[in-house]
Structure 1
Amino acid sequence: MVKKNSTKTKVQPYEIGELDHYLFGQGNHYEIYKKMGAHEVTKNGKRGVYFAVWAPHAVNVSVIGEFNDWDETKDKMKRGEPLGIYTCFVPEAKKGDLYKFCIETQAGEKIYKADPFANYAELRPGTASRITDISNLNWSDSKWMTAREKWDNKEEPVSIYEVHMGSWMRHPGREDEGFYTYREFAEAITKYVKEMGYTHVELMGIAEHPFDGSWGYQVTGYYAPTARYGTPEDFAYMVNYLHKNNIGVILDWVPAHFPKDAHGLADFDGTPTFEYPDPRKGEHPDWGTKVFNYEKPEVSNFLLANALFWVEHYHVDGLRVDAVASMLYLDYGREDGQWIPNKFGGNENLEAIAFFKHLNSVVCGRNKGVMMIAEESTAWPKVTGSPEDDGLGFTLKWNMGWMHDFTEYMKLDPYFRKNAHHMMTFSMEYAYSENYILVLSHDEVVHLKCSMLNKMPGEGWDKFRNLKAAYAFMMGHPGKKLLFMGQEFAQLREWSEERELDWFLLAEEPHQQIQNWYKDLLHLYKKNKALYELDDDPKGFDWINKDDIFRSIFSFTRHSKDGKKNLLFVCNFTPVDRPDYRVGVLRRKQCKLVLNSDETKYGGSGEERPLVYKPEKQECDGQKYSFAYPLPGYGVAVFEY
């Protein structure tokens, strides 16, 4: 029960009051970011900035910045109990000023920390926070936001373009690294994404981070869009612009760990504040980072409110939660003796499990139509199951099992694929155990793993034909879709954050042709309900022939809910032409050829083919009816019936 405020001084709306302490201490202050950090306010008729920071074990805290010449003695902060939230009002402070917190530790040291709740930061290599005002951002995306409330990802197309902003495209020859600003990027990416046919853009590394090479996965400013590309207002403009063009925005979000940089969250008040105190739980030995202490309500609240901040304040449509497995397993990346079992003797992190259930219930409960996406690489059960049914409550899960089997199969010389046929069919054994996204992400095209094109066997044109067949199989397989930037036009080199994509490749015919192919696959996907509205239902998929092992051909159908518009996929994964190929069909309905990889615009022979095929009563593939179709080497044909 919350006691009435016993102080004589009335708490102003912007101030941290008793109720704020109570809710934050319970882990339920979902809009704590509106109170913590630095906010422009008017006090006693004077305009200034109200600062608030949680530093429970600090002896003293002061705010230092450009407004007081970084003098530690000028603006001492007052400690609030029982949580140790320090506050002060500084009339000299104003929007644009840089600042930090000077924290006196119990060991008698002084440490200088950036604001965990800052909404803007100094451009790296600077490490200070910057005062800003994001209370009145300009939004004109009400049509999108209203429609989002009724949007059901299970029955809608989701094809995601995963993008690293700093290396998607750059201005050539500029001394400032040539980064596109959020506003420039918004207009360029919108034009490209609309032409290609993606439904969503997923952005890597948006929260402020000090090191470019971390790609944004080692965050120091969870509440600040990185200053590399502009201001918070510029970031809001980008989201708004994409929404007005009917493109969804997903952000990568990193609640698993944070770096040890001196100005960041590590040992924030001189003690393990945000992290577990025992390094066997509080550090990732492989990554050299700290692990959030999900047992502390204030830490869980910091993260939960952060998720809501991006979704509610910045209108983001989904969060792709990074490294979920590392949070769920206490022994993740650790050897014997490097981890502590839970109270039942197991390796599950019970606090992280509770955190996910709370997080997903609140974010999705308050924001209908928003997606919470788990990058979870193990067989943990019910990741997308309801928390009421002991699930974690995520909307979607990356299908890492499919990705591994698929890429390993595609790397094989076609001669040996017959021995690995099951790698392309096994995913259907568990396809409905979770709500999945099929992913070919940035992780698959770095660290000597090769680009998607160079994973393919053979030389020259064979690589492109292999990749065309691979993309078609992916687009036809149940599950939402994600492809990392550059792979849609068969980037040759591995991705690097230090340079833009090799757009010059599009001057070469094979790269243009595979871009044409992927673009047409995306548009086929978007306009055919059979490819998305029964992704989580076995009624949406039937194998025609999954056992054509020695020819390495796969044929299957996708069904719409009403059964009126169905698609038949035939994919040949060897270079051998099959002029006598025959495929079975489920019903004696004429089949219209809607996508043919042998067209010249895709780099095919251009051989003319009939558009309509009438099945005959001739048994094939275990079906009563079938029709003949000359299938070229690495050929793909998609029919509508």
Structure 2
Amino acid sequence: MTMLPLIEKDDWLRPYASALEATHSRYRDLLEEICDAHGGLIHFAENHLFFGLHSYSEGWVFREWAPNAEKIYLVGDFSDWKPDESFRLQRKDHGIWEIFLSKTVLKHLDFYKLYIEWPFGSGYRIPAYARRVIQDSETLLFSAQVWHPEKRFEWNDEGFHQSFSHPIIYEAHVGMAQEAGGVGTYRAFAENVLPRIKKAGYNVVQLMAVQEHPYYGSFGYHVSNFFAPSSRFGTPEDLKYLINKAHEMGLAVIMDIVHSHAVKNEEEGLSRFDGTLDQYFYPGERGFHPAWDSRCFDYGKKEVVAFLLSNCRYWLEEFHFDGFRFDGVTSMLYTHHGLGKAISGYDDYFDNSRDNNALTYLMLANHLIHKINPNAITIAEEVSGYPGTGVPPEEGGLGFDYRLSMGIPDFWIKLIKDMTDEEWNMGTIFHELTIHRPEERTISYTESHDQALVGDKTIMFRLADKEMYEFMSKEKPSLVIDRAVALHKIIRLVTITTANGGYLNFMGNEFGHPEWIDFPREGNHWSYHYARRQWSLADDPTLKYEWLAAFDRAMLTTVTENDLLSFNPVYLNLANEGDKILAFNRGEFLIVFNFHPTRSFPDYGIPVAPGKYQILLNSDRPEFGGFDRIDQQQLYFARPVGKTPNNGFQLKLYLPNRTGLILKKIPTPRLH
């Protein structure tokens, strides 16, 4: 039998070949079955074109899947919001319900719901495929809204494709992207924030909280309506405007897609939709997430797989998203959801805790997404390091383009919290930043959005703490702030220059946004004071935030213009624990750090290949809040170690404390 390419890439997987082959066979068999029965995976993923409310020249048609229902009514102003036999759906085969309505019954912007009766119960429900859902400001109840504007949105992004080698991602939340207290909008984000992202040097925008969710403070991760863009931020057309505008600027846009779980709310969500708890979700306890207080999809049910795959297709085609960051993939992969279970070896990946249904679904989803858009980006939020996450399904993997290196932010916070600067280990830093599976590409990042929330701290806030309140003026010296600024820069620089695929930053963290995020809640008197971004801090030339923003911009420019991340692998040159010097190579690039808190070193020898080198980026520049201790115009020549070249070559560099450098080897002209 031919060995799966995934196993050939990782010899440690050979003992588990049968488990991987079985998963691959399930995927292949299901894909073949879908193609035979539905004419291909894309046709299978078209539930959104059949279910829900659709307009035709002769009227409206509405369909819903609710196999346990006994009666279903469409309700709205047209029925005085009560069940009316005139608007009762007819039951068809396979649990499908249907009704045809005249054009006069519904019009654009009308509100409607379903009233469903089942054995021993009944209730109002939001249609599963509703494309717009609105919350009433007084009653706080949700309703579906007819969204059928006379004039369709006109896209002008035809032919847009990502023109970059590696994604440099700006993770953003539209609602809190404005400075004033309140909820930001898609339009305001397009006009005010997209230009900032472009100017800062990022090439991908990752939007959080796009799918409708009842609780604003969930950060968008407790989804109720999977096909409805959140109405808090504007209309579907407004979201299209944002994406179209980003494409005009050369920015790709991906969204956080939540297929790992669903909110357990019943009237506005999918839970107990037709009176049963297991219509969309696993039966029994397996259908409830013990940590997230939410519902877990049944990935073994074809109707659920079709629902989720159609959701992927819908966002790609209807809104022109360029891909997805899949939330909670670790939770999907294992029946224990990654809770209370340490992954200490390969046996832990292949025990009885794998959810084979979820594995197959993710393989199908990635196959579908890349079939619709071969240039699409898919990223797995996966912390366990599951083998094959970043390998195509045809080769035995899950098919993601990238996996989030979720251990890196945890590593940095642990280092800052638990160790003094003198205790930082250079070899450990290099190891933690470069470890990855041989077959996968990863997205590196220094801190997650969770660390910006109340109860935790960003790197800058953790480094500076209360000093941020009084000493961020350039006129006020502070040794605490000096340390924070220097470490903030070199932590980011070493993270991106060791990245194995791409890099991510959560909005505002690039300039050390102060304090935390706290969404409106009863505990803060429903205040929006902390659910915003203070862009003016980075724009103020009198404040030190400007230094951090300038460095981040220069760092990204240097990395992207030189395509630094394309040079693999990363080779360790030097890790001197006493001096706190770390140096490594990527192709013709030499990256050097002095993490020492107090010691600067003149003429420090760094092993290199022979040749001459120039500095491309220097974190000690005054415009970055540094002390201008390095002559950046100087060329550096590799010198033999000792009296002969047999012992190798080295550069003699002046390395001030808490400084990072990127140097590039300059080609030597050939003599003719």
TM-score (norm 2): 0.82
* Alpha-carbon contact 1:384-1:391 (below 8 Å) kept: yes
Among candidates 414, 423, 446, match of residue 421 of structure 2: 414
| Residue 196 of structure 2 is aligned to residue 192 of structure 1 | yes
Once structures 1 and 2 are overlaid, which stretch shifts more, 319-328 or 76-85? 76-85
Q: Which residue of 2 aligns with 1:603?
A: 625
* Residues 582 and 592, structure 2, Cα contact 8 Å, conserved in 1: yes
| Partner residue, 1:442 | 449
Counterpart position of 2:494: 473
Match of 1:140 in 2: 156
In structure 2, the residue matched to 1:5 is none
CA RMSD of aligned residues (A): 2.7
Q: How does 1:80-479 map to 2 (within 5 A)?
A: 80-91=92-103, 92-107=105-120, 109-123=121-135, 125-133=140-148, 136-144=152-160, 147-148=161-162, 156-171=165-180, 177=182, 179-263=183-267, 264-332=269-337, 346-411=352-417, 412-418=419-425, 421-430=427-436, 432-439=438-445, 440-456=447-463, 459-479=480-500
Deviations for 1:390-415, whole angstroms, at most 9, x for unmatched residues?
21111111011333323323443211
1:482 maps to amino acid: L
Indicate how the Cα distance of structure 1 residues 188 and 436 shifts in structure 2: closer, same or farther if over 3 A, else same. same
> Which of 500, 504, 511 is the aligned partner of 2:532?
500
Query: 2:68 is matched with which residue?
Result: 57
Secondary structure in structure 1 of the residue aligned to 2:617: strand
What does residue 555 of structure 1 align with? 583
CA deviation map 1:320-379 (0-9, x unaligned)? 00000111100126679xxxxxxx970011110110111111111221100111000102
1:54–1:86: 8 Å Cα contact kept in structure 2?
no
Of 71, 79, 82, 1:68 maps to 79
CA distance in 2, matches of 1:585, 1:334: 44
1:12 is matched with which residue?
none
Q: Is the 8 A contact 1:285 1:334 kept in 2?
A: no
Question: What is the CA distance between 1:75 and its match in structure 2?
Answer: 0.3
Say yes or no: does 1:542 pair with 2:571. yes
CA distance in 1, matches of 2:647, 2:188: 54
Return closer, same or farther for 1:590/1:604 CA change in 2, 3 Å cut-off: same
Counterpart Cα distance in 2 of 1:404 and 1:433: 23
Measure, in 1, the Cα distance between the counterparts of 2:127 and 2:40: 19
Match for residue 551 of structure 2 among 517, 540, 544: 517
In 2, Cα distance between the equivalents of 1:198 and 1:626? 34
Count of matched residue positions in the alignment of Structure 1 and Structure 2: 586
Check the 8 A contact 1:555/1:568 in 2, yes or no. yes
Can you give the 5+ residue segments of structure 1 that lack an aligned partner in the other structure?
A: 1-18, 337-343, 560-565
Contact residue 460 and residue 488 of structure 2 kept, 8 A = yes
Q: Which residue of 56, 75, 78 corresponds with 2:90? A: 78
CA shift for structure 1 position 196: 0.5
Residue 613 (structure 2) pairs with residue 591 (structure 1): yes
Q: State the identity as a percent.
A: 26
Measure, in 2, the Cα distance between the counterparts of 1:268 and 1:279.
16
SS of the residue aligned with 1:467? helix
In the alignment, the residues of structure 2 paired with residue 311 and residue 532 of structure 1 have an alpha-carbon distance, to the nearest angstrom, of 27
Q: Distance in 2 between matches of 1:410 and 1:331?
A: 30
How many Å separate the matches in 2 of 1:60 and 1:637?
A: 69
Q: Once the 2 structures are TM-superposed, how far is the Cα of residue 610 of structure 1 from its aligned partner?
A: 4.8
Q: CA deviation at 1:23?
A: 4.6
The alpha carbon displacement at 1:285 in A equals 1.2
Distance 2:351 2:658 in 1: 52
**Could you tell me how far 1:615 is from its partner in structure 2?**
2.1
Structure 2: gaps (5+ residues):
1-33, 342-349, 465-478, 520-527, 666-672
Question: Separation in 2 of the partners of 1:623 and 1:257?
Answer: 59
Q: Is the 8 A contact 1:225 1:232 kept in 2?
A: yes
Offset of 1:501 from its aligned partner? 1.7
Distance 2:339 2:657 in 1: 46
| CA gap 1:619/1:292 in 2 versus in 1, 3 angstroms | same
- Deviation at residue 24 of structure 1 after TM alignment: 12
Match of 1:563 in 2: none
1:345 and 1:415 map into 2 onto residues whose CA distance is 41
Q: Distance in 2 between matches of 1:209 and 1:325?
A: 22
Cα deviation for residue 277 of structure 1 reads 4.5
Q: Which moved more, 1:446-455 or 1:223-232?
A: 446-455
Shift of 1:238: 0.7
Secondary structure of the corresponding residue to residue 331 of structure 2: helix
- Preserved contact between residue 406 and residue 424 of structure 1 (Cα < 8 Å): no
Alignment TM-score, normalising by the size of structure 1? 0.86
Give the aligned partner of residue 629 of structure 1. Answer: 653
Q: Secondary structure at the residue paired with 1:629?
A: strand
1:484-542 alpha-carbon deviations (Å, 9 max, x no partner)? 1111111221223442123343335321111111111111122011x2224xx42xx22
Deviation at 1:207, TM superposition (A): 0.8
Whether contact under 8 Å (1:55, 1:86) holds in the other structure is no
8 Å Cα contact 1:588/1:625 also seen in 2? yes
State the shift of 1:209 in Å.
0.8
Distance 1:523 1:277, change over 3 A: closer
**1:73-102 deviations in whole A, cap 9, x for unaligned?**
130001110233333334311111111111
